[in-house]
Amino acid sequence: MVKALSIIAVLSCMINLPSAGQKVISIWEATPPSNKAHQVEETREVSPWGGAKVLSGVSIPEIWFYKCQSKKACPAVIICPGGGYAKQAYEHEGTEVAQWLNQLGINAFVLKYRLPDEETSTNPTYVPLMDAQRAIQYVKTFATKLNVDENKVGIMGFSAGGHLAASCTNLTDPVDPALGDAPIKPDFSILLYPVISMKDELTHVGSRNNLMGNKPSDQLVNKFSMEEQVSDQTPITFICHAKDDQAVVVRNTEAYAAALMEHNIPAEVHILESGGHGFGMRQDSPAFIWTELLKQWLKQSVLTD
């Protein structure tokens, strides 16, 4: 079994921050697996494309915990912001989503996952997935302390974060021995304008190159093409994508939805007429209706006794 942290250790790695109940939790006990000494610095900046607040140079993973106010154990969602596996749009695809989920009675954890970089990791392709698996494992292991229903821990992702969420949903073998054999599989998934495929005709090239390099093997491409990895064990799924997305073509979602249907996985799929890419929590977007659609799905599929 994976080595469990003591309750004292859990409390000591929670650091109160000034924003709306947020706590920062280190998900690994010591140096994260596959990390190596480096000079890369983590930075926060405003992206020139759309003005999103983004993180780059991430090599120390953590989860930012936003706790719902209910006294009973609540469902939880681990949120993976997008950014092409080069950055992470931690606000409109992260913290703002977490605060919205809290209003529905859901515990939320924004995952600051390691970005694939040969300078910071000995296994760059797999460190984002390793961190997502560990985040699921951590929340399930300490469900009682975190006021979480351990049978309702889902994962949510936007764009490349959607690819990470789908990978965590379908690639359920531990990618590092440090994970042990405690549960690492989410109970449901939520995907927003997700990168699904790594195949030439569908993929977002930047995400693929950042994750796997410029010349990945056919085997690696197939492994990280999530339309090829759906199985009868894939959990229930919600997906939303806009037809006019010019960055991650909607055929990614269509291919994944077809695979889910083939395996009889309950899924709710919404293809919106407009909204482009990266709409996240931007209320002025015509795609902001996704929040109401997801709210209804959560009430029917997750927020049930």
Sign of CA dihedral 288, 290, 296, 301: negative
Do 273 and 285 form a contact (C-beta atoms < 8 A)? Answer: no
Measured distance CA(198)–CA(151) in Å, rounded: 31
User: Quick check: is 127 in a domain?
Assistant: yes
And the tokens for 16?
A: 């109160």
Q: Could you tell me the CATH number of the domain that includes residue 210? A: 3.40.50.1820
Note the pTM of the prediction, 2 decimals. Answer: 0.92
User: What is the per-residue pLDDT for 5?
Assistant: 35
Residue whose token pair is 């990470």: 164
Determine, yes or no, domain membership for 147: yes
pLDDT score for 1: 34
> Could you write out the DSSP letters of every residue in the chain?
-PPPPPHHHHHHT-EE-SSTTEEEEESSSSSPTTB-------EEEE-TTTT-EEEES--S-EEEEE--S-SS-EEEEEEE--STTTEE-TIIIIIHHHHHHHHTT-EEEEEEPPPP-TTTBSSGGGHHHHHHHHHHHHHHHTHHHHTEEEEEEEEEEETHHHHHHHHHHH--S-SSGGGTTS----SEEEEES-----STTT--HHHHHHHH-SS--HHHHHHT-GGGT--TTPPEEEEEEETT-SSS-THHHHHHHHHHHHTT--EEEEEESS--S--TT-TTSGGGGHHHHHHHHHHHHTS--
15 lies in some domain = no
Q: Which two tokens stand for residue 41?
A: 């610095």
Q: Looking at the 3D structure of the chain, how many domains does it have?
A: 1
Per residue in 215-246, pLDDT (tens digit) is: 999 999 999 999 999 999 999 999 999 999 99
Residue 197 lies in a domain: yes
- Cα 168 to Cα 13, 23, 66, 155: the distances in Å are 24, 23, 21, 8
Give domain status of residue 226, yes or no.
Answer: yes
In a domain, 190, yes or no: yes
pLDDT tens digits, residue range 184-195?
Answer: 999 999 999 999
pLDDT at position 17: 37
Query: What pLDDT score does 29 carry?
Result: 87
Q: Could you list the residue range(s) of the whole structural domain that residue 75 is in?
A: 23-301
Per-residue pLDDT tens over the stretch 258-300: 999 999 999 999 999 999 999 999 999 999 999 999 999 999 9
Q: What is the pLDDT of residue 187?
A: 98
In a domain, 8, yes or no: no
Nearest Cα neighbor of 119 from 225, 189, 40, 27 is 40
Instruction: Give the chain's residues under pLDDT 50.
Output: 1-20
Q: Is residue 3 situated within a structural domain?
A: no
